[in-house]
Amino acid sequence: MKKTSYLFIALIVLFLFAGAASAQTIGGDKGVVQVTCDVNGASASLISINGDVVETKTITNGMAEFYVYTTGTPVNQVIVSADGYYTASAPVTVPSAGETTVVPVTLEAKPVGGDRGFLQVNTNVIGAKVDVMSISGSVDYSGYTDVNGKIQFAVYTTGTPISSVVVSAPGWVTQTVAVSVPAKGQTETVNIDMKSSVAPTTSVPTPTKSPMGLALIGLLGVIGVVALVRRD
């Protein structure tokens, strides 16, 4: 009777620790982010809340689909770019498991013809909004930086002169930098180092339980019970 009790206890211990170990494994359901765009061949990049490129796909038949884990690092933005078009950005909501979030993106064609120069803006932020301001204070051109943090504008040399660029992005300090009108066929390059607006915090790492450690403890418990059974 005593041996039977020990064996029963051993089975319970093994079951409990096996369950605890399996609970440490995190699974995840998937949803779909569907990006629609009328420019086939355009490049669509899904961006996480950390500003990292999660995945890049090509727009085919007017769309690109991304499968995202609902329990993974959230995504919040998609950037679409193509030759001859200004880069565009759109916000993204994380879909529920088995659901599809549709994100329409429209690309604006760059102007063709006329006397033009180019304004190249380089930043350290993906998907930052860049507004090119005229001397009258209006926004002449606007777009979003690509996955390399860059954007280029074709600027008419005979239009209202531009005077500055304003770069903004959530979590970053807005920067305004003076620029000059590029000469015909020339490129004016502006490098902007964005600064985070989020104050750094010191976090204490939370200790995690190792599934292997829990399983080992459970196994040792079973061995101990078996030893007691044999001794009796």
Same domain for 52 and 63, yes or no, is yes
Q: Give the end of a domain, one of 75, 109, 143.
A: 109
Measure the CA–CA gap between 141 and 152, rounded to whole angstroms. 10
Same domain for 124 and 137, yes or no, is yes
Same domain for 56 and 85, yes or no, is yes
The candidate with the shortest Cα–Cα distance to 80, out of 39, 120, 138, is: 39
pLDDT at 100: 94
Indicate whether 172 belongs to any domain: yes
pLDDT at 24: 39
pLDDT at 227: 56
| Number of domains making up the chain | 2
Same domain for 167 and 185, yes or no, is yes
Indicate whether 32 belongs to any domain: yes
Measure the CA–CA gap between 78 and 72, rounded to whole angstroms. 17
Tokens representing 139?
């926004």
Query: 82-139: per-residue pLDDT in tens?
Result: 988 889 999 999 999 999 999 999 998 887 666 888 999 999 999 999 999 999 889 9
pLDDT at 25: 36
Same domain for 101 and 118, yes or no, is no
pLDDT at 17: 46
Indicate whether 209 belongs to any domain: no
Tokens representing 19?
């369950």
Measure the CA–CA gap between 198 and 110, rounded to whole angstroms. 35
Tokens representing 69?
């884990």
Measure the CA–CA gap between 77 and 56, rounded to whole angstroms. 12
Same domain for 48 and 67, yes or no, is yes
Does this model's pTM top 0.75? My answer is: no
pLDDT at 71: 87
Positive or negative torsion for Cα 170, 172, 177, 179:
negative
Domain residues for 142?
110-195
For the chain, 232 residues long, the average pLDDT of each consecutive 10-residue run is 52 49 52 94 93 93 94 91 90 92 91 80 94 92 91 86 94 94 91 87 53 54 55 58
Cβ distance 64 to 44 under 8 Å? Answer: yes
Bridge partner residues of 32 (DSSP): 67, 100
Same domain for 67 and 134, yes or no, is no
Indicate whether 52 belongs to any domain: yes
Q: What CATH number has the domain bearing residue 120?
A: 2.60.40.10
Name residues whose C-beta falls within 8 Å of residue 175's C-beta, 6 or more positions apart in sequence: 166, 167, 168, 192, 194, 195
